Structure 1
């Protein structure tokens, strides 16, 4: 078994932890085939889940049982990132193409509108998409959105440099252990994260710029921002203030015991409650 095979085996083990029936859909786009793991009744309103970088769609294993009772859930593997989405000959090369890719996926799923929830890098995509395509977003939930309302901390970036320069299994595990304060996370999912970082071929990451305050004028999407009180990506209180400065009507929630990389798995019950309220 190759190291890439080990990654796919870990991915499948985590997907098997989903306590609901899962339909795996491969959606063709101009940039390749996007894997969508779906669950919940087709009669329910749609909820699209965008994971953090490297986390894959499987990361929602502790959330989908509750969410699927109220939504038809569509969890995406981000194009160009680790997972079972398969890039085509033309990679995504700009933010415009990244957002068009998401529109194509929604079109292919026959979703003129949907609620969207993103974590970390997925939150950056979700916010950028909502600012440009607000009529298609019924509600927006951002889980500890880095780079959306303020800068990431110098401490976090300093610890991330070794992974960015030369990612490997050990460095990824140590980084997550540092950020989470040694919290016990699902071992199979940690395998996905670490093996993906070390061995999965990835495209250049396309990062939406932080929106300027003027871009939030006339933004009418119902928005919730959930922040990790013990996270090391940024200062939660400062980001909460920054959110309120540009989105006065947004709901902000600080989960005092959460860190950036424990979300959305821990604390799952609180995350689920927020998504469902």
Structure 2
């Protein structure tokens, strides 16, 4: 991991509230970094970041959500960040489920509310489908490959960056996707550096999900100006597949800027959806 990436990572982490704890959770697939904030006896809320974003990207959400909940923002194993692959190979969605089982076990959480953004939304939804008893409530922020695939025009734009990532290409992609939606400069720096890390591994990916069996309360928020998919059409599909879910399209937000530029709206809706949690003792 380069010194410049570590510095960019630490710059975002410095924007987390005072009192944030840095945890390293051992798993059979490797040690996993978790940023924890909020009352020790608060109801647990686990946050899974978008691809290439790291757990530090929830800096604008940690304090409001952590006022009532014990927030755990995880560096997804296999993606960039301070989680490290070691031990069993992490190759399939089944491995990813077993890894997240181990993370929750290591945190002492029989169950928790689970929130994922983008790729993290796919991870969260896949986990909820396979481990419904461990997910009390599910929040999906502009999730990918949950309610449909990517728009063809988006794939054409992102493919060169994926095949041969350079700082110029990655920065241009992020500027294009987030144009006019308030991309955070610290986040952009970390994202670009992470995408161009030498020797970077590939995150575990899988097929588009069938979310129909999800039975727990579900909140889905789409970014109106996301280029990943047609937000309104995908929201309509989500409502058809999950008629009991709360589904909204938030105006003016882009795919990557949803947790940061959209923090005020996202945090307010999430707190309303999660409700006032019961106090949990003994953890």
Verify the 8 A CA contact 1:52 1:121 in the aligned structure 2: yes
Distance 1:8 1:138 in 2: 34
Verify the 8 A CA contact 1:177 1:183 in the aligned structure 2: no
Distance 2:16 2:228 in 1: 28
Q: Which of the numbers 255, 259, 268 marks the counterpart of 1:264?
A: 259
Q: Which of the numbers 204, 210, 226 marks the counterpart of 2:202?
A: 204
1:216 aligns with 2:208: no
Structure 1, gaps ≥5 residues long: none
Equivalent residue, structure 2, for 1:252? 247
Q: Which of the numbers 61, 65, 78 marks the counterpart of 1:80?
A: 78
Equivalent residue, structure 2, for 1:104? 102
Compared with structure 1, are the counterparts of its residues 21 and 221 closer, same or farther at alpha carbon in structure 2 (3 Å cutoff)?
same
Aligned residues: 272
Distance 1:184 1:248 in 2: 32
Equivalent residue, structure 2, for 1:151? 149
- Secondary structure of 2:114's partner? strand
Verify the 8 A CA contact 1:131 1:216 in the aligned structure 2: no
Verify the 8 A CA contact 1:232 1:260 in the aligned structure 2: yes
- Secondary structure of 2:2's partner? helix
Verify the 8 A CA contact 2:182 2:261 in the aligned structure 1: no
**CA drift at 1:182:** 4.3
Verify the 8 A CA contact 1:92 1:206 in the aligned structure 2: yes
Q: Which of the numbers 260, 268, 271 marks the counterpart of 1:276?
A: 271
- Secondary structure of 1:35's partner? strand
Equivalent residue, structure 1, for 2:237? 242
**CA drift at 1:200:** 5.0
Counterparts of residues 162-201 of structure 1 (less than 5 Å): 162-199=160-197, 201=199
Equivalent residue, structure 2, for 1:118? 116
Superposition CA RMSD, Å: 1.3
Please report the TM-score for the alignment, with normalisation by the length of structure 1. 0.95
Q: Which of the numbers 220, 226, 229 marks the counterpart of 1:225?
A: 220
Verify the 8 A CA contact 1:152 1:233 in the aligned structure 2: yes
Distance 2:51 2:16 in 1: 20
Please report the TM-score for the alignment, with normalisation by the length of structure 2. 0.93
- Secondary structure of 1:117's partner? strand
Equivalent residue, structure 2, for 1:70? 68
